[in-house]
Amino acid sequence: MRLHRYSRPKETALSVPDKPAPDETLPNPLPEPLRFHSPAPLVDIGANLTHESFTHDIDATLARARAAGVETLILTGTDREHAEQAVALCQAHEGLYATAGIHPHQASEWGPELEAAMAELHQKPQVVAVGECGLDFNRNFSTPAEQERAFEAQLALAAESGLPLFLHERDAGARMRDILGAWRDDISRAVIHCFTADRETLHGYLDLDLHIGLTGWICDERRGHHLRDLVGDIAANRLMVETDCPYLLPRNLPAKLKGRRHEPALLPWIVREIAHWRGESEAELAASSTATARAFFDIKES
């Protein structure tokens, strides 16, 4: 998800250090009550770490993620520029992987040149999925026709490369199911990231043998509580977890976070909430979601 309410905190421009500090001395802006170590290693399958809000403290952000037990991160590549930046981050840091795709908001930019650039990115060893791509009929920053064209082209790229798909869908569940149904035999695995829809849509996706990515949306009493009754319907080997940071700061945190920027170190709080509503332990969900993510993205255990 992009262009969410998150906005860059004003003070970030002033806090850029002259040079990166060594890891041990990196500032930790997480209040003590928010530092929570996962009982088992986690994979954050959706982190927008190329967002400008992370530019000034990417090393500290990754160090906090590790300290919280979030050992592997899949960086979301939402357009050519961000996918290339994500690959560069993967080359500079261990435990990072990237997706490469064109978000439905930018679907109007799709054309032969972009298609060739994407196909090239998909060959890189750091790139483990095609996406973020899909349909967003909520905001229609690109027209539905433009979105479907770019989406179908990226489905074709996924079919050619054999890579799994990292999918975005908002208010377009029926159309998404139709299109994916037609492509299902040609593509490998696909995850609906940041699933927020209703039971009927969920079961439509599960019937297509898709994976489901869950964010902290379930912690939002204003719009996400319907997910509490649904998350138990997802088999453990189809469920993965993600922050979608810096967006979607979970609303179950026990302390206020200055700047309200979401980050991978907070993923254990999301796991805690989902595990509660599934009636399982955090350790069980941490272990199963990590095993599912490693299999989905074909990542060997480090």
Q: Judged by CB under 5 A, does residue 105 bind Zn ion?
A: no
By C-beta, is 4 or 56 nearer to Zn ion? 4
Burial class, 155, CB count within 10 angstroms (exposed 0-12 / middle 13-18 / buried 19+): buried
Angle of helix 80-92 relative to helix 112-121, nearest 10 degrees, comes to: 20
Separation CA 237–CA 255 (nearest Å): 32
- Token duo for residue 269: 């709080």
By C-beta, is 157 or 167 nearer to Zn ion? 167
Q: Judged by CB under 5 A, does residue 238 bind Zn ion?
A: no
Least gap, CB of 79 to Zn ion (angstroms): 12
Least gap, CB of 20 to Zn ion (angstroms): 30
Q: Judged by CB under 5 A, does residue 245 bind Zn ion?
A: no
Beta-carbon contacts of residue 45 (< 8 Å; ≥ 6 apart): 74, 166, 191, 193, 213, 240, 241, 242, 293, 296, 297
By C-beta, is 167 or 266 nearer to Zn ion? 167
Q: Judged by CB under 5 A, does residue 1 bind Zn ion?
A: yes
By C-beta, is 4 or 294 nearer to Zn ion? 4
**Distance from the Cα of residue 171 to its chain's centroid:** 18
Pick the stretch among 1-9, 90-98, 158-166, 274-282 that binds Zn ion (CB under 5 A). 1-9
Separation CA 167–CA 253 (nearest Å): 27
Least gap, CB of 46 to Zn ion (angstroms): 7
Pick the stretch among 106-114, 119-127, 163-171, 214-222 that binds Zn ion (CB under 5 A). 163-171
Pick the stretch among 36-44, 104-112, 167-175, 270-278 that binds Zn ion (CB under 5 A). 167-175
Count of residues engaged in binding Zn ion, rule: CB under 5 A: 2
In contact, 183 and 176? CB cutoff 8 Å: no
Task: Tell me, letter by letter, the H, E, C secondary structure of 38-95.
Answer: CCCCEEEEEECCCCHHHHHHHHHHHHHHHHCCEEEEEECCCCHHHHHHHHHHHHHCCC
By C-beta, is 168 or 261 nearer to Zn ion? 168
Q: Judged by CB under 5 A, does residue 168 bind Zn ion?
A: yes
Least gap, CB of 80 to Zn ion (angstroms): 17
Pick the stretch among 37-45, 166-174, 211-219, 250-258 that binds Zn ion (CB under 5 A). 166-174
Pick the stretch among 19-27, 168-176, 214-222, 256-264 that binds Zn ion (CB under 5 A). 168-176
Q: Which amino acid is at 193?
A: H
Residues that bind Zn ion (CB under 5 A): 1, 168
